[in-house]
Amino acid sequence: MLNWMRYGFDAAMLTIEAQQVIGLRLAKIGAGGPGAAMEATLMVNEKIAAAMEAGVTLATGGSSHKVLTGYRKHVGKNYRRLSR
């Protein structure tokens, strides 16, 4: 597959996957309880860690596609964890 097609596909998939995780997180947080508070804290911590990882990737000469695939890995892990 051509590089630009791969980038486009990965960006589209990240959009879809992120929306799934957002829905699962909203359901969990909306249910309340101690699990909701833990999920909210985890969400913020994960976002900070992912942004730092992306910054390091770019600062060390990594490509934007590498950042995109890194975000997809994080989102995929969250989806698997939240959908159990």
Q: What's the confidence (pLDDT) of residue 1?
A: 61
Q: How many domains does the chain have?
A: 1
Per-residue pLDDT of the chain (84 residues; tens, 9 = 90+): 679 999 999 999 999 999 999 999 999 999 999 999 999 999 999 999 999 999 999 999 999 999 999 999 999 999 999 999
Q: What's the confidence (pLDDT) of residue 13?
A: 98
pTM of the model: 0.89
Asked whether the beta carbons of 46 and 74 are under 8 A apart, the reply is yes
Asked whether the beta carbons of 72 and 15 are under 8 A apart, the reply is no
Q: What's the confidence (pLDDT) of residue 2?
A: 76
Residue 8 inside a domain? The answer is no
Residue 3 inside a domain? The answer is no
Residue 23 inside a domain? The answer is no
Report the b/e string of 9-21 with b at 16+ CB within 10 A: eeeeebeebbeeb
